[in-house]
Amino acid sequence: MKRSFAFVLITVLALCASQVCQAAEKKNPEANRLAREGAEAAKNQDFDKAVDLLRKATAMDHKYADELSAVYQQRGYAAATDQRYGDAINDYGEALKLTPQNSRIYEQRAAVEMKIQDYEKALGDYSELIKQKPNEVRYLNYRAYIYELKNDLKNSLADNEKVLKLDPNNQDAKARKQRIEQKIAESTPLTPPPRTPTPSPARSPAGKKKP
């Protein structure tokens, strides 16, 4: 996440919280107050306080779940930036519990999992992303790369072919196709030539004796 994205996320968080709070103010004033304070804490990048306040607000009114998810996402990014990868993955996981269709969070978590070489979990996240966006070349390329690392050449080649169908000039996919085809050729045993039949000895015609 770049600074510009973080700024937009904070701004959206504040606006969403404000709009939802205004609608819910008469129905649940305490949840509204907590959400407002949580949004302000997030704006000041006090993410622990923001999470605590918005969790309380969400427990009172589930309308604040999106705002809580956004704060978990922000805190996860901050943890990843500080190389606290375990904390980042945990926060992204909490965010996804609240907003399971948010592809951006899956993408961020997968990037951290790739960073720590947890390829099995990254494979799962990219597979989920591909379910959501089947024709996204980046996701297919990443999954093909992971399959190649796992020496799952069949699945890697299948994803790679999808990439080349969508983007015939994709250089990563072209190079991967050459590598995979070479690996397959090297691992394919040579078929032995057919055995030459042994000629049968000549037989004398029936009823005739050799001189």
Regarding whether 77 and 27 lie in a shared domain, the answer is: yes
Please tell me the distance from the alpha carbon of residue 146 to that of residue 159, in angstroms, as a whole number.
11
Regarding whether 62 and 4 lie in a shared domain, the answer is: yes
* Residue linked to tokens 């951006």: 104
Please tell me the distance from the alpha carbon of residue 196 to that of residue 133, in angstroms, as a whole number.
56
Question: How many separate domains does the chain show?
Answer: 2
Whole-structure pTM value: 0.75
Regarding whether 80 and 133 lie in a shared domain, the answer is: no
Which pLDDT value is given to residue 20?
47
Which pLDDT value is given to residue 188?
73
Which pLDDT value is given to residue 24?
44
Residue numbers of the chain with a pLDDT score lower than 70: 1-26, 190-193, 196-211
User: Helices 153-166 and 171-187, interaxial angle, to 10°?
Assistant: 150
Regarding whether 122 and 93 lie in a shared domain, the answer is: no
Which pLDDT value is given to residue 148?
96
Regarding whether 94 and 123 lie in a shared domain, the answer is: no
Buried b (16+ CB within 10 A) or exposed e, 3-39: eeebeebbeebbebbeebbeebeeebeebbebbbbbb
Please tell me the distance from the alpha carbon of residue 175 to that of residue 158, in angstroms, as a whole number.
14
Regarding whether 136 and 46 lie in a shared domain, the answer is: no
Identify the CA nearest to 65 among candidates 11, 111, 102: 102
The answer as to whether 15 is a domain residue is yes
Domain enclosing residue 146, as ranges: 118-186
User: Do the beta carbons of residue 34 and residue 84 sit within 8 Å?
Assistant: no
Which pLDDT value is given to residue 3?
52
Which pLDDT value is given to residue 28?
82
Regarding whether 84 and 143 lie in a shared domain, the answer is: no
Regarding whether 123 and 96 lie in a shared domain, the answer is: no
The answer as to whether 191 is a domain residue is no
